[in-house]
Every structure is written in structure tokens, then in C-alpha cells.
């Protein structure tokens, strides 16, 4: 069993990675149903939260059914982050996660996200103060380091643990790599193999097949996998990995009926959450992923993404179901 503070998780838990514009409540709910053991929100700006910016506060919404859920915040200013922690606590998540890994310029230039990897002392002190501020378990998500020449993730992880961080998820790339090249899991295994480490060490980056998840577990000996891109349009990935763990075999490809069902439920949950207009609008980006592979999907996609009326979108789903009954998906 793996534990984040008092939260008990199965052996080698699978975590849905925080993903801006992807891991909103409807998507998290779908992933949870398909076997995600922990889900994380999109990252939330602590500055946005304390200014009560609608975009940030909306991201605080969580549902009972998705627990355990972590709310992720980012920032670089201690006072703002502490104030943000107080706001986050009111939403009563199971975990507060700090983003020390986002590589985008807009975030890094303010010293937040992966920007903090240039100042490990600040990273440590921010974590320490946030831990002191809240009764909730605090976890950290980060990268291997700023660049190849400055990787000291073993030391960083130990220092974060020592100030009370309850689990660490490490993306096996540096900030300089952005998303290029392959994630390197060796340094993450070094963190795990440090005899002083006792908190869970989760690996992240390029877990895109069940085989890769097995490799992360068996070859690298990590405590669990945090999975991002492989779940986009494929919340079934969690179930596929768990089935493979249990049987050594792959599940049959997800059927068209399952895909249409998921798309419909996603849209309905989004409407229930945000109302018709926003729900229809914000679910649009997911359709291409759900129906990846269908020939000439563009024609149907246009119908799904041009109407503001959910009835038209639901009708387009039914049309796909009707017209591609015999289409064989590959995964």
C-alpha cells in the first residue's frame, strides 16, 4: 500500500496529472470512473485566486465522487501563496499540490513553476511555509532540474521531504527540455533509492502504454505513475493499465459506443457544472481525441464545434454512432 499522509492508495497507484484546460471536473470524473487513484486539478494561479479572478476560482470546484483530489497552485510570492492556500482550503480538497514544474515562459519569468528550480532554497522555504499554513497534506510536482547541468533532484526531493512535503511527483525532463526528447526516469529512481526518502515518489513523463507503466514499476521501482497526455481523449487508459498489471494482456480496443457514451457524459457533466453555453464551448476541444482515427471526422467535428446548442452536439454524436458502426478502433 502507498500512503500520502493518511490517504491510503493501492500498490502502484495511477495519478491523473494536472493539465491546464484538460483536467477539469468532468474529465477528472471520467478518469476516476476508469480507475485513476488520485486526480489533480489544472494549475491555479495564487495571484489569480487572491484577486478573486473568475478563471482561477472556477478551477477550485471539486466533486465528492472524484476524491482523493489534489488542488494544484503555482506562484513565487510567499504571501500570495499562503493566502491562496487559505482560499484553497475552503474547497476542502484532500491534497494541496505545489507546481514547481511548469516550463512556460509566462510562468517561469515570474519565478514560478519550473522557474523556482533555479532557487532551491526558495523552493524549500515556500514549501515549508505552505506546510505550516495548512492541515492538508502538501505534495510537490516538479521536474528533474532547470537544465541538464544543474540536476540535483535527489537533494531537492530530500529537502522538500524534510520540510514536510508528503509526496513528490517528478517529470523526467528538465525545464530546458520543455517537452522535447524522452523523459529520463533514472534520476527519479535515484530519488526513490535514496535511503533517507520515505515519502512516495511518483514518476511522470511518457507513460503512454501499459508496458511503460510496468517498466516504471518494475525496472525503476517507483511508487506510482502520474499520467498526463496518454489520458487526453482516453480516460480508459487507467483501466487499460490496471488490466495489464493484473493479466499481462491488453484490453480490447475501446468501442465506438463507449466513446460516444463518454463524449455525451463529458458534455452533460460540463453543462451541469458550467451551464449550457460554457459547457458546450469548453468541451469542444475534447472531441477530436475521443474519436481519433475515424475517417473524415472533420465533417462531424464541424457539427460538434459550431453550434452553441447542446442538442446539435448530441445529435452529431448519434450521427457518428450510426455512420461508423463497423469502424474498428486500434486501441
Ligand X SMILES: Cc1cc2nc3c(=O)[nH]c(=O)nc-3n(C[C@H](O)[C@H](O)[C@H](O)COP(=O)(O)O)c2cc1C
Residue with cell 491534497: 95
Consult the annotation and say whether 243 binds a ligand: no
Is the CB of 225 or the CB of 260 nearer to ligand X?
A: 225
Choose, by CB under 6 A, the member of 4, 14, 18, 140 that binds ligand X: 18
**Long-range CB pairs of 269-276, under 8 A, 24+ apart, other chains included:** 269/25, 269/26, 269/29, 269/30, 270/24, 270/26, 271/310, 273/24, 273/25, 273/26, 273/61, 274/58, 276/308, 276/309, 276/310
> Measured over all CA atoms, what is the biggest interatomic distance in the chain, rounded to whole angstroms?
59
Asked if 69 touches ligand X (CB under 6 A), the answer is no
Asked if 24 touches ligand X (CB under 6 A), the answer is no
Reference 291, options 323, 329, 253; nearest CA is 329
Consult the annotation and say whether 265 binds a ligand: no
The stretches of the chain forming alpha helices (DSSP H) are: 25-33, 46-50, 54-58, 78-90, 105-108, 120-133, 153-162, 186-193, 210-218, 237-247, 256-274, 276-283, 287-290, 297-306, 310-323
Q: Which of residues 37-66 bind ligand X (CB under 6 A)?
A: 42-43
Asked if 191 touches ligand X (CB under 6 A), the answer is no
| 102 carries an active-site annotation | yes
Choose, by CB under 6 A, the member of 45, 56, 72, 80 that binds ligand X: 72
CB of 231 to ligand X, least distance (A): 8
Consult the annotation and say whether 228 binds a ligand: yes
Asked if 102 touches ligand X (CB under 6 A), the answer is yes
Instruction: Pick the catalytic residue from 31, 102, 121, 165.
Output: 102
Cell, residue 230: 496518454
- Residue number of the CB closest to ligand X reads 228
Q: Give the angle subtended at the CA of 35 by the CAs of 31 and 36, to the nearest 5°.
A: 60
Asked if 233 touches ligand X (CB under 6 A), the answer is no
Asked if 101 touches ligand X (CB under 6 A), the answer is yes
Is the CB of 22 or the CB of 112 nearer to ligand X?
A: 22
Q: Which of residues 157-186 bind ligand X (CB under 6 A)?
A: 171
| DSSP assignment string, 57-126 | HHTT---GGG-SEEEEEE-S-HHHHHHHHHHHHHT--SEEEEEE----HHHHTTT-GGGGGG-HHHHHHH
Asked if 17 touches ligand X (CB under 6 A), the answer is yes
Choose, by CB under 6 A, the member of 168, 207, 294, 316 that binds ligand X: 207
Is the CB of 213 or the CB of 316 nearer to ligand X?
A: 213
CB of 113 to ligand X, least distance (A): 8
Catalytic residues: 102
Query: From the annotation, which residues make up the binding site for FMN?
Result: 72, 141, 171, 228-229
Residues that bind ligand X (CB under 6 A): 17-20, 22, 42-43, 72, 99, 101-102, 141, 171, 204-207, 227-230
Amino acid at each position: 500500500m502507498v500512503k500520502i499522509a493518511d490517504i491510503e492508495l493501492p500498490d502502484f497507484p495511477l495519478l491523473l496529472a494536472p493539465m491546464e484546460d484538460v483536467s477539469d471536473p468532468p474529465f477528472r470524473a471520467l478518469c476516476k470512473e476508469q480507475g485513476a487513484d488520485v486526480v489533480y486539478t489544472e494549475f491555479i494561479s495564487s495571484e489569480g485566486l487572491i484577486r478573486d479572478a473568475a478563471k482561477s476560482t472556477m478551477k477550485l470546484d471539486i466533486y465528492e465522487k472524484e476524491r482523493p483530489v489534489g488542488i494544484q497552485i503555482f506562484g513565487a510570492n510567499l504571501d500570495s501563496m499562503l493566502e491562496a492556500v487559505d482560499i484553497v482550503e475552503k474547497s476542502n480538497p484532500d491534497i494541496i499540490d505545489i507546481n514547481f514544474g511548469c516550463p512556460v515562459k509566462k510562468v517561469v519569468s515570474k519565478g514560478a513553476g519550473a522557474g523556482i528550480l533555479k532557487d532551491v532554497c526558495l523552493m524549500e522555504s515556500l514549501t515549508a511555509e505552505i506546510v505550516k499554513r495548512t492541515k492538508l497534506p502538501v505534495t510537490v510536482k516538479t521536474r528533474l532540474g532547470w537544465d541538464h547541468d544543474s540536476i540535483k533532484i535527489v537533494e531537492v526531493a530530500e529537502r522538500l521531504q524534510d520540510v514536510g512535503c508528503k509526496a513528490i511527483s517528478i517529470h523526467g525532463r528538465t525545464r530546458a527540455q520543455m517537452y522535447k526528447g524522452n523523459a529520463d526516469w533514472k534520476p527519479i529512481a535515484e530519488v526513490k533509492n535514496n535511503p533517507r526518502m520515505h515519502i512516495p515518489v511518483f514518476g511522470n513523463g511518457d507513460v503512454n502504454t501499459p508496458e511503460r507503466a510496468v517498466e516504471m514499476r518494475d525496472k525503476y521501482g517507483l511508487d506510482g505513475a502520474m499520467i498526463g497526455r496518454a489520458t487526453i481523449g482516453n480516460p480508459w487508459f487507467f483501466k487499460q493499465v490496471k488490466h495489464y498489471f493484473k493479466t499481462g494482456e491488453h484490453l480490447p480496443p475501446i468501442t465506438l459506443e463507449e466513446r460516444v457514451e463518454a463524449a455525451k457524459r463529458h458534455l452533460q457533466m460540463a453543462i451541469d457544472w458550467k451551464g449550457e453555453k460554457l459547457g458546450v464551448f469548453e468541451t469542444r476541444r475534447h472531441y477530436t481525441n475521443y474519436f481519433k482515427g475515424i475517417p473524415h471526422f472533420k465533417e462531424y467535428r464541424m457539427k460538434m464545434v459550431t453550434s452553441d446548442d447542446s442538442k446539435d452536439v448530441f445529435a452529431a454524436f448519434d450521427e457518428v454512432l450510426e455512420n461508423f458502426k463497423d469502424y474498428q478502433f486500434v486501441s
